[in-house]
C-alpha cells in the first residue's frame, strides 16, 4: 500500500494550493449576470484583443495537424528584429510564466535560495516552491521602491542564485531606475528582469539592450498584455549565450503551439495597429487615474503599466471588491500582508472605466 505522503515530494505536499481564478462563464452564472455584462479588470488583459491580422493568420493557418516548430524559427527571427537581440539567444515559452519555471528548474537545486521583492508578481515565489527552493523575502520600501542594501545583504548572506525584478512592477506599476539595476548586477547571481508590461511604459525604458553587456542578466517579455494574446500563451526571454544554450536543452520541444507562434508572428508584423491600442490604454490610464484620485476613499499610485494600484482608505478593500463584483465589475484583491488595504484595477476601455467609476461613486453615495 502507499499513501500520498509516501509518493509526493515532501516540499510539494507542503505547498499552499494556488488560488484558482474562476472562468468568466462560471462567475457570470454565480452572479446571475450575462457574460457580456462583466467588466473584467482583474488580470491586466487587453480589452482590444488580438490584432485582426493575427486573427486572420489563425483562421488561415494550414498546419494545425503538424507539431509546432521546436526552434520557433520564424518567431525568433521576428523577435530578433523587434528586440535587436541575436535570435540565437532568444528562447520562447508558453507565456513568460513558462520561462520563469524553466530558469528556476535549470538553476535551482533543492534548498537553494531565490530573492523575491514583494509586493510583486506571485509566480517567482510559487515556482521557487515547486522547485524545492527557498524564497528569501526582501520587501519593497513603503513607496514600493527596492531596498537595495537589504537585497545586497540577503545576496551575500544566503548564497542566493537568482534575483527576480519586475519593471514596471506588478502590481505597483513603478519602473526600476537604471542605476539600481546597474548596482544589483554587481551581485554574484542571475538577475531576471520581467518586462511583461514594458510596451505600456515605452520601449525606451527597457533593459533589453543591457543583456548583451551583462552575462548575469536576462529579460522576460510576453505577448499576453500589449498584443492581447493572453489566452494563447506565448512569451520570450532575452538571455546571455550560456543561459540560452542550457534553456534550449531542458525546454519541452513543443512548448509553444502552432497557433501561438502564428499569432505572435502576425502580431509583430502588425505593430502599428497594436501600438495604437497601447497608446489608447495609456491615455485611458491617465484619465482613469485622475478620476480615481478624486474619490475620497481611494489613493491611486502612478503606473507605467496597464493597471493602477489603489490604496483603500477608511474602508475594507476586500468588502469593496465584493461590492463591485456584485455589479459584475471584477478587480484584483490580494489576500497577503503587503497589500491588505489595496485593490488593483486593470485599465480597460473608456466605457469599462466609466462603469467602474459609476459603481465606485455609488458606493461612496451609499456611505
Ligand X SMILES: *Cc1c(COP(=O)(O)O)cnc(C)c1O
Of residues 196 and 288, the one with the C-beta less far from ligand X: 196
Nearer Cβ to ligand X, position 343 or 355? 343
Task: Report, in Å, the least distance between residue 173 CB and ligand X.
Answer: 11
Report residue 313 as a C-alpha cell. Answer: 482608505
Q: What is the DSSP letter of 74?
A: H
**Site map for ligand X, 16-45, x if CB under 6 A?**
----------------------------x-
Q: Under the criterion CB under 6 A, does residue 96 sit at the interface with ligand X? A: yes
Which of the residues 116 through 135 are near ligand X (CB under 6 A)?
121
Cα 150 to Cα 34: distance, rounded to the nearest angstrom? 49
What separation, in Å, do the N-terminal and C-terminal C-alpha atoms of the chain show? 60
- For residues 158 and 187, give the distance between their C-alpha atoms in angstroms, rounded to a whole number: 12
Residue closer to ligand X (CB basis): 121 or 301: 121
**Distance (Å, whole) CA 225 – CA 276:** 14
- Does position 224 interact with ligand X (CB under 6 A)? The reply is yes
Residue 235 makes contact with ligand X by CB under 6 A? yes
CA angle 159, 99, 138 (to 5 degrees): 35
Among 131, 196, 274, 317, binds ligand X (CB under 6 A): 196
Using CB under 6 A, count the residues that bind ligand X. 13
CA 320 to chain centre: 24
DSSP-derived secondary structure for 9-68: -HHHHTSPPP-PPPPHHHHHHHHT--GGG-EEESS---TT-S-HHHHHHHHH---TTS--
Q: Give 96 or 181: the residue with its C-beta nearer to ligand X.
A: 96
Taking a C-beta distance cutoff of 8 angstroms, is the pair 151, 140 a contact? no
- The distance of closest approach from Cβ of residue 94 to ligand X in the complex, given in angstroms and rounded to an integer, is 8
Measured from the CB atom, is 222 or 303 closer to ligand X? 222
E strand map for the chain: 39-41, 90-93, 113-116, 134-137, 162-166, 190-194, 217-222, 235-238, 298-300, 307-312, 329-333, 342-346
Query: Which of the ranges 92-100, 261-269, 286-294, 309-317 carries the binding residues for ligand X, by CB under 6 A?
Result: 92-100
Binding mask 161-190 for ligand X (x = CB under 6 A): -----x---x--------------------
Q: Is 226 in the site for ligand X (CB under 6 A)?
A: no
194, 270, 284, 325: which one binds ligand X (CB under 6 A): 194
Q: Which is nearer to ligand X, 219 or 360 (CB)?
A: 219
Closest residue to ligand X, based on beta-carbon distance = 95
Angle at 21 (CA atoms; ends 165, 312), nearest 5 degrees: 65
Residues that bind ligand X (CB under 6 A): 44, 95-97, 121, 166, 170, 194, 196, 222, 224, 230, 235
Amino acid at each position: 500500500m502507499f499513501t500520498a505522503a509516501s509518493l509526493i515530494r515532501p516540499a510539494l505536499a507542503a505547498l499552499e494550493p494556488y488560488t484558482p481564478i474562476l472562468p468568466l462563464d462560471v462567475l457570470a452564472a454565480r452572479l446571475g449576470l450575462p457574460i457580456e455584462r462583466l467588466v473584467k479588470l482583474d488580470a491586466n488583459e487587453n480589452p482590444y484583443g488580438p490584432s485582426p491580422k493575427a486573427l486572420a493568420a489563425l483562421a488561415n493557418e494550414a498546419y494545425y495537424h503538424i507539431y509546432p516548430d521546436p526552434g520557433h524559427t520564424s518567431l525568433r527571427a521576428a523577435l530578433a528584429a523587434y528586440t535587436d537581440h541575436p535570435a540565437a539567444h532568444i528562447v520562447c515559452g508558453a507565456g513568460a510564466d513558462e520561462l520563469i519555471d524553466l530558469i528556476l528548474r535549470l538553476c535551482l537545486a533543492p534548498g537553494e535560495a531565490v530573492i523575491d521583492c514583494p509586493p510583486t508578481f506571485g509566480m517567482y515565489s510559487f515556482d521557487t516552491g515547486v522547485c524545492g527552493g527557498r524564497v528569501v523575502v526582501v520587501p519593497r520600501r513603503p513607496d514600493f521602491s527596492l531596498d537595495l542594501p537589504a537585497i545586497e545583504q540577503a545576496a551575500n548572506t544566503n548564497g542566493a542564485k537568482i534575483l527576480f525584478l519586475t519593471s514596471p512592477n506588478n502590481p505597483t506599476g513603478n519602473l526600476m531606475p537604471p542605476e539600481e539595476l546597474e548596482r544589483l548586477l554587481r551581485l554574484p547571481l542571475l538577475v531576471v528582469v520581467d518586462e511583461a508590461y514594458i510596451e505600456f511604459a515605452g520601449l525606451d525604458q527597457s533593459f533589453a539592450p543591457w543583456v548583451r553587456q551583462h552575462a548575469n542578466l536576462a529579460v522576460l517579455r510576453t505577448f499576453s498584455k500589449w498584443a492581447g494574446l493572453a489566452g494563447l500563451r506565448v512569451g520570450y526571454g532575452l538571455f546571455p549565450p550560456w543561459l540560452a544554450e542550457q534553456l534550449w536543452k531542458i525546454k519541452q520541444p513543443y512548448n509553444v503551439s502552432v497557433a501561438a507562434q502564428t499569432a505572435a508572428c502576425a502580431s509583430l508584423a502588425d505593430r502599428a495597429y497594436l501600438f495604437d491600442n497601447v497608446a489608447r490604454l495609456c491615455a485611458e490610464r491617465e484619465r482613469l487615474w485622475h478620476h480615481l484620485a478624486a474619490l475620497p476613499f481611494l489613493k491611486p499610485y502612478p503606473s507605467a503599466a496597464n493597471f493602477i494600484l489603489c490604496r483603500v482608505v477608511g474602508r475594507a478593500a476586500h468588502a469593496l471588491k465584493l461590492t463591485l463584483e456584485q455589479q459584475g465589475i471584477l478587480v484584483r484583491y490580494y489576500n497577503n500582508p503587503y497589500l491588505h488595504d489595496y485593490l488593483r484595477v486593470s485599465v480597460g476601455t473608456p466605457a469599462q472605466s466609466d462603469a467602474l467609476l459609476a459603481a465606485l461613486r455609488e458606493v461612496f453615495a451609499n456611505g
